[in-house]
Amino acid sequence: MQSSSGLLQRSSCLRLLSPSHQSTVSSPISRPRSRRFASNPFPAAAAAPLVTRTKPKLDPVMALDLNSRGENEVVVVDDVEMDRFAETANEMADAAGEVIRGYFRKKFDIIDKDDLSPVTIADRAAEEAMASIILETFPSHAIYGEERGWRCKESYGEYVWVLDPIDGTKSFITGKPVFGTLITLLYKGKPILGVIDQPILRERWLGISGRKTMLNGQEVSARACTDLSRAYLYTTSPHLFSEAAEKAFSRVRSKVKVPLYGCDCYAYALLASGFVDLVIESGLKPYDFLALIPVIQGSGGIITDWNGNELYWDASPDTPASSFNVVAAGDGQIHQQALKSLEWS
């Protein structure tokens, strides 16, 4: 994590609080727009039904940062600002969804990237639809997209939007609606907002640090499950694991009640809604998991790497999108049991 006082001086639209200090800094952010994304040249599907959202009175979003003395200092993003970020994230998901629905179960070219993973015109067009909204609404914010990487004049951004337009492209191109659009807002490397959007089923999970996770405006929560022998486990595919990772995964799989496969990010959404107990995956990129963190944590679940460490990625033009092993659980007890069974080091 960046830790100099200079970073605090560059902070915008924040209140910085410590036991003995409080100040308010405002930023020149344009007004939130009421229009939907209008420049999308792709076929649009019927609009999703409007959902009335009741905003509870909530504490501001807080994260720990290091001040110039190397001490933890609480950084607060107030509710008004967070609501504006959430409004923009919803607009971005709407825009991406319009593009994706226009291509779903249609004929289009499939291109293999350097890592042999597939990409389509829908992936690229959906990312551009989201990026255009960020560039207009928050021009000082950085963007890191799966398809185009870093977009910012500076090499550092206090606020970074991390985008995965279609997490689960293989599901998308085979007509299976368990893929999703992932949207993350990082503040100093910490994910403070995450969206999992399934545009075909029109389901949207919104996680915000310090708040309850919402599915289409209704609170959701993970379920209790205290023993691996009762757990429902998801992974996208063990064929994506290295040999060592697959052996570790098999030690958990052999102990659960039901192992299931093939849901990409949708498995984590099901965990947040209390239908799944455990998700274990290997080789995920930052844009694959960062949005999941606020969603899982806001539902009462836990998400870490295979050693139980916090998932963290320092987004910048010079930071490679390295691979991570991820385990998410709805209950702390089976999270610890899964870590013990993985025996990962």
Condensed to tens digits (0 to 9), the pLDDT of residues 1-60 reads 443 333 333 333 333 333 333 333 333 333 344 334 333 333 333 444 433 333 333 444
Helix (H, G, I), strand (E, B), or coil: what is residue 285?
coil
Give the β-pairing of 21-25 and 14-18.
Answer: antiparallel
What are the structure tokens assigned to 75, written together?
A: 């950084």
CA 130/CA 95 separation, integer angstroms: 6
- pLDDT of amino acid 216: 98
Helix (H, G, I), strand (E, B), or coil: what is residue 239?
helix
For the chain, 345 residues long, give each residue's pLDDT as a single digit of tens.
443 333 333 333 333 333 333 333 333 333 344 334 333 333 333 444 433 333 333 444 544 443 333 444 445 678 899 999 999 999 999 999 999 999 999 988 888 776 657 788 999 999 999 999 999 999 999 999 988 888 887 877 899 999 999 999 999 999 999 999 999 999 988 999 999 999 999 999 999 999 999 999 999 999 999 999 999 999 988 888 899 999 999 999 999 999 999 899 999 999 999 999 999 999 999 999 999 999 999 999 999 999 999 999 988 888 888 899 999 999 999 999 999 999 997
CA 255/CA 96 separation, integer angstroms: 39
Tokens 């013990």 belong to which residue? 340
> Which of these, 54, 57, 53, lies nearest to 80 by C-alpha position?
57
Spell out where 13-84 has E strands: 14-18, 21-25, 61-66, 72-77
End-to-end, the C-alpha distance of the chain in Å comes to 23
Give the β-pairing of 258-261 and 232-235.
Answer: parallel
Residue 19 falls in which region: left (phi positive, over 0), alpha (psi -120 to 50) or beta = alpha
Residue type, 153: K
- The DSSP result for 99-121, as a single string, is HHHHHTTS---EEE-TTS-EEEH
What letter would DSSP give residue 212? -
- Bridge partners, 184 (sequence order): 162, 194
- pLDDT of amino acid 57: 39
What letter would DSSP give residue 228? G
- pLDDT of amino acid 114: 66
Asked if 204 and 232 count as a contact pair (C-beta separation under 8 A), the reply is: no
Length of the chain: 345
- Other C-beta atoms lying within 10 Å of the C-beta of residue 273: 20
What are the CA-CA distances from residue 179 to residues 34, 247, 332 (Å)? Answer: 28, 26, 27
At a CB cut-off of 8 Å and minimum separation 6, what does 287 contact? 144, 145, 146, 162, 163, 164, 167, 182, 184, 321
- Bridge partners, 232 (sequence order): 258
CA 94/CA 98 separation, integer angstroms: 6
- Bridge partners, 279 (sequence order): 234, 328
What letter would DSSP give residue 290? T
What letter would DSSP give residue 277? S
What are the structure tokens assigned to 145, written together?
A: 């997209």
What are the structure tokens assigned to 151, written together?
A: 């977009």
- pLDDT of amino acid 41: 36
